[in-house]
Amino acid sequence: TKPCSMKKFALALVATLFLGSLTVQSVNAQTRRGHYFLTGASQLSFQTTFNSGSSEEFLFSFSPSFGGFVADNLALGLNGNIFYVSSASSVVYSVMPTMTYYFNQGKSFIPYIGGQVGYVGVSSYGVSLNGFGMGVGAGGVLMLNKHVGVNLGLQYLHSRYPSRYRTNTSNSLTTSIGLTTFF
């Protein structure tokens, strides 16, 4: 039975190398002009808010994103975020256009950098504020196959919420993990 096992092992190894090379070749095509992506990410973050004093909070969020490649490796998209902060009974939300550049070299890991600017809001204890936010981020997509990858990222977001009496600012550094589908 040993020669049969070795043949199966060798066949499996050859098939894996062949299919892996096809995946690497097709990964390069996913960030070409005319393709699209859809991402769903969860985030864990540590946020410091500066008001009359400062407070620190731990929060959890969900962030869907959708976009398209307007040029090879350059995508424009729309990102939405919904945060729930249990310590303050608050919901933080945002809708931001994004621009992302992917450094795709045809490998199974595709690094990227990006930026976003847009609308942010917060609702806490019946009081709502909204304003302007902007952020930058970097990360990478570890491709599982030619269409689906695990997205790992780090993002900094600065938000300003003007109110009648003062302007509240928020600065957050966020890590995220999610799934990205290219089509």
Using DSSP, state whether 3 is helix, strand or coil: helix
In 3-state terms, what secondary structure has residue 166?
A: coil
Look at the block and give the residue holding tokens 């959708």. Answer: 66
**pLDDT band (50, 70, 90) for residue 21:** very low
Rounded to 10 degrees, the C-alpha dihedral 70/181/95/124 comes to -170
Instruction: Provide the pLDDT for residue 22.
Output: 42
Helix (H, G, I), strand (E, B) or coil at 64: strand
Question: pTM for the full model?
Answer: 0.74
Cα separation, 58 vs 145, in Å, equals 34
102-120 residue pLDDT tens: 999 888 999 999 999 999 9
- Residue 125's CB is within 10 A of a number of other CB atoms, namely 7
Q: What is the mean pLDDT of the chain?
A: 81
Among 78, 80, 76, 175, which Cα is nearest to 120's?
A: 80
180 secondary structure, DSSP code: E
By CB neighbour count within 10 A (0-12 exposed, 13-18 middle, 19+ buried), where does 166 fall?
Answer: exposed
